[in-house]
Structure 1
Amino acid sequence: MENNFEDHVKELYERANKIADVSFKTNYKNSKADKDVLEDFEKEFFSLVDKVNLSLMEDKDNFYGYFLFQMSRKIRFDINSPTAVNFKGAKYIIYFNPIIFLNLNIKQMETTIKHEILHILSMHLIRAKEFKRDYSTLVVNMAMDIVVNTYLDNLPPYATTLDWVNVKYSLKLLPYKPFEYYAEKLRAVIDLVEEGKDVPKDNDNKDKKIETEYSPENTHDIWEDSSEIDEKTLKEFTEKFINSSQKGTIPDYLDSVILSFKNSKGELPWNLYLKRLMGTVISNKKKTITRRSRRQPYRLDLRGQLRSYKAKIAVAIDISGSISDEEFNQAIKEIISIVKNYNHEITVIECDSEIRRVYKIKSVKDIRNRMNIRGATRFNPVFEYANNNDINLLVYFTDGKGEDKLQEVPRGYKTLWVISGRGDKLSLKKPYGVVKKLNNVEVKDDMSNINECIRSGYSMMNQEPEQI
């Protein structure tokens, strides 16, 4: 059986190279003879994929086999990975590059299929679009692959793994951390490397071409070809796939992944939303002749840009007793971690029915013990202060129980409401900003240690081994 499979792989690999050569290296005329050859190859190739799927079905991970049954299959010689996925026409499609795929053994073939399905369960196809606004494509791809590959064995030799990244970039990244943790750490080193490059990669050639090698930077390009669909609808489609694939017992890690997916609310937690807001606040930039334009580096007549804007961030804390010291200290640490790469100024406002104290902080050490005053809660004084002090961003921590209408509405700045774990909802009928829930935090003795792992239940990346 094994020898027959290997012989089948070799024979198909030779045919794949011949077809690719005809299809992409010459003027392919789509003659009937050429179409017949391609159709015959596809039939043989997918019969081999069926054998791989049968092997998956016999394994304890048969969830993947049932999931694959529901997916459409297509061959594309122009993708930079053995497999790829996207969502089109109300279904998931898995693509195979035969030249790369057929260089794998059967266990590695199984793994690359599992890899794509884990990306789906993690909602990476949508999350990648969100994070590419702030991170490079390479950083996003590598961070997401690290998360997925941590759960897999029998990876191809070129796979992006945590060990490989740590060695390549001299890092000490920890396993089972969320995507954001890896993205932030990788951006710090990868962007530095990319910054020193004078000639960017040429992506102007849109013509299809044969791809024979894996590329971490382009491996998920096909995600961008997915149909335009909102996150809620895609999640509903995915959940149907999941429910049809759960036959019998599944591994603990996969059960945790699925549970996290089903419990997700499909929205960014407050700290990730704050990170996005910072990207919009820091929008004023100055021109410089010492740096080329990053969008058009060949245009020497265009000047590059440097940040010259200091963001004034006000952090209001309701001291009426609705938020614990642990919750607030943890939240402040998150904020400092998020804004540390920007030119910023943080002002803490302690308030209840009125503003009790205002002071500036630069680090966690500057946080003062909260005043022991417990009055009622009014939001209006904070907005009066913000309107009179040229604030760019207001983050308001409260249990949400205050007025139902603001007398002083915000002028010229963004507002992020963060409701305490004890709170339910914001009393204001019109909040003039986004309202998020504060996740429960773990009380730790070392207050200088920033909690990198955001436990929002948003995706599979939040699952650590001891929690499974």
Structure 2
Amino acid sequence: METYFSKQVQELYEKALEIISHTSMLKAIRTHELVDVEISQDFKEDFFRLIDKVSLSLMEEKDNFYGYFFFQMGREIRFDISSPSAVNFKGAKYVIYFNPIIFLTLNIKQMETTIKHEIHHILSMHLIRARELKGRYATRVLNMAMDIVVNKYLDYLPPYATTLKQVNIKYGLQLEPYEPFEYYAEKLQIAFDLLEEDEEGEIDDSYNPGSTHDLWEESDEIDEKTLKEFTQKFITHAQKGSIPAHLEGMIASLKSSKGELPWNLYLSRLMGTVESNKKKTITRRNRRQPERLDLRGQLRNHKAEIAVAVDISGSMSQEEFNQAIKEVLHIVKNYNHEITLIECDDQIRRAYKVKSVRDVQERRCVSGGTRFTPVFDYANKKNINLLIYFTDGKGEEKLQVIPRGYKVLWVISGRGDSLSLKESYGAVKKLSKIEIKDTSLEMSDVRSDGYSMNNQAPIF
């Protein structure tokens, strides 16, 4: 069977080479330009018969979820993509595309893996998450970051696949495993800036990590809520057997609470979008005007200012305070940003810098009312990139000052129900969804190395 399969693959590969044998067409394909390749119906039928065999193999596996999910997807051939496969959302369904020139160089296990790879991107909602970060990070950085997350769970990867080990060795990094892709994007952008790498990387005739997800740009315009609903339908029809353990969390999150992010996971996702400061450097030329030697280039120093305001009017318990601060420090530490802790009620009582749990001072006991405006007035006067406000939500109905130039995340304590403000100027989340087993404030609680499966890419 395996010999017959290999022979079939070889014959198809030779036919694929004939299709693109024209010199101008080959050049366009190698530079990943969209070209109109005339593909015979016979080749399409033969190629998709091969794909059907790979699909059947997936369904016969113990974890047949991938096979049933793949069965629902549309299938197309594209010679101009720079990876064995790619995916986007077209015509109310996910469509997977295959480049025969690259795909047919894989063995059957690697073919299965490249299909699983695309399904992982879908379940991680990378199509939406990457769109939110576009413009803040280089395209190559986003692509590599997402592939690091996805490939961590897959076996039988092609030798050129982007993996955490490969990236750490190539760029001399020490990135931790099982982190969200926003974490890897941040770290890789810093490394690429320092190495003065070109944003799009080098052109590769066969596989180019800088353009592996370009096809996502061709997806139909669709909002996040609708895309989640379509994804849930695909998942429901694919749950006909056992599901890999590492997918259960993603699937459960998609189905729970209408896709709403718990505050701590929302913060983790938000951190990747916080714009960090940039510093001038004479070691590189200006990207926009490289011929101008008098203009200095820029490097990201990634020291964004994060303000954490805590209502100490008595509405937030000590236990809630401990849990919240520990979680904030755990999330923010990955991004090496500066944190200012603000204690407030109807006015700001104290504001000080914190780097770890050890820097957190004992809360002052006051019994005053709550006003939000003083904190926003303080933030407006500082170089704040993100304000996280912990409160029971009971304060003014209208802010006396409008937030300027920074993002806002409200976290309502377990004793509160909603935010009194008619205009929040940011996301509002509930503290009750946080899950932390140990509430003691110990330095060992803030992980500095190692990893846990609970730290796999959070999405919802």
TM-score normalised by structure 2 residue count: 0.81
1:245 Cα deviation (Å)? 1.5
Deviation at 1:212, TM superposition (A): 4.8
> Structure 1 residues 167-176 or 231-240, which shifts more?
167-176
Structure whose alpha-carbon radius of gyration is higher: 1
Q: Which residue of 2 aligns with 1:50?
A: 52
Counterpart residue identity of residue 76, structure 2: K
CA shift, 1:5, in A, is 0.9
Work out the CA distance in 2 between the residues paired with 1:269 and 1:335. Answer: 10
- Per the alignment, residue 97 of structure 2 pairs with 95
One of 315, 319, 327 as aligned partner of 2:323: 327
Relative to structure 1, is the Cα distance of residues 376 and 94 closer, same or farther in structure 2, using a 3 angstrom cutoff? Answer: same
Q: Is the 8 A contact 2:271 2:335 kept in 1?
A: no
Q: What letter is aligned with 2:215?
A: I
Of residues 353, 365, 370, the one that matches 1:361 is 353
- Shift in alpha-carbon separation, 1:385–1:99, aligned structure 2, 3 A: closer
- Aligned pair count? 437
Deviation at 1:460, TM superposition (A): 6.6
2:259 to 265, 283, 300: 265
Residue equivalent to 2:434: 440
**2:387 counterpart of 1:395:** yes
Contact residue 341 and residue 354 of structure 2 kept, 8 A? no
Q: Secondary structure at the match of 1:49?
A: helix
For 1:21, what is the secondary structure of its paired residue? coil
Q: 1:415 to 1:130 in 2, by over 3 A?
A: closer
Question: 1:86 maps to what in 2?
Answer: 88
CA 1:330–1:420 in structure 2 vs 1: closer, same or farther (change >3 Å)? Answer: farther
Query: Cα deviation per residue 1:239-280 (whole Å; 9 max; x = unaligned)?
Result: 11111111133333333332233237256713543553445x
The AA in structure 1 aligned to 2:322 is E
Shift of residue 384, structure 1, vs aligned partner:
5.2
Cα gap change, 1:368 to 1:400, in 2 (>3 Å): same
| Rounded Cα–Cα distance in structure 1 between residues aligned with 2:412 and 2:327 | 10
What amino acid maps onto 2:250 in structure 1?
Answer: V
Question: Would you say the 8 A contact 2:183–2:335 is kept in 1?
Answer: no
Q: Report if the CA contact (8 A) 2:307-2:387 is conserved.
A: yes
Deviation (angstroms), 1:106 = 0.8
Q: Distance in 1 between matches of 2:18 and 2:283?
A: 50
Provide closer, same or farther for how the CA distance between residues 393 and 155 of structure 1 changes in structure 2, counting only shifts above 3 A.
closer
Any idea what the Cα deviations from partners look like across 1:370-395, whole Å, max 9, x if unmatched?
113344433344345556x4564572
1:261–1:460 CA contact under 8 A, matched in 2: no
CA contact (8 A) 2:176 2:451 kept: no
1:15 to partner: Cα distance: 0.8
* Matched residue type, 2:443: D
Q: Deviations over 1:71-93 (max 9, x none)?
A: 12111111111111111222211
- 1:125 equivalent to 2:127? Answer yes
Question: Which stretch of the first structure deviates more once superposed, 369-378 or 7-16?
Answer: 369-378
User: d(CA) in 2 for partners of 1:266 and 1:3?
Assistant: 49
Measure the CA separation in 2 of the matches of 1:110 and 1:333.
40
CA, structure 1 residues 396+84, in 2 after alignment: closer, same or farther (shift >3 Å)? closer
Partner SS state of residue 387, structure 2:
strand
Contact 2:412 2:419 in 1 (8 A): no
Please name the residue that 1:145 is paired with: 147
2:420 paired with 1:427: yes
Distance in 2 separating the partners of 1:116 and 1:394: 33
1:301 to 1:19, Cα distance in 2 relative to 1, 3 A: farther
In structure 1, the residue corresponding to 2:259 is in which secondary structure?
A: coil
- Where structure 1 has 5 or more consecutive residues not aligned to the other structure, the ranges are 29-33, 204-210, 464-468
1:110 deviates by 0.8
How far off is 1:214 after superposition? 1.6
> For residue 276 of structure 1, what is the aligned residue in structure 2?
273
Give secondary structure in 1 for the equivalent of 2:8. helix
Aligned equivalents of 2:26, 2:243: Cα separation in 1: 45
TM-score, scaled to structure 1 = 0.80
Q: What stretches of structure 2 of length at least 5 have no aligned partner? A: 30-36
Shift of 1:112: 0.7
Identical counterparts, % of pairs: 52
Change (3 A) 1:376 1:83: same
Letter in 1 for 2:214: D
Alpha-carbon distance in 1 for matches of 2:364, 2:279: 41
Once residues 275 and 154 of structure 1 are traced to their aligned partners in structure 2, the CA distance between those partners, rounded to angstroms, is 30
Structure 1 residue 8 corresponds to structure 2 residue 8: yes
Give 1:257's aligned amino acid. M
Q: What pairs up with 1:401-420 in 2 under 5 angstroms?
A: 401-406=393-398, 408-410=400-402, 412=404, 414=406, 416-420=408-412
2:446 to 417, 424, 449: 449
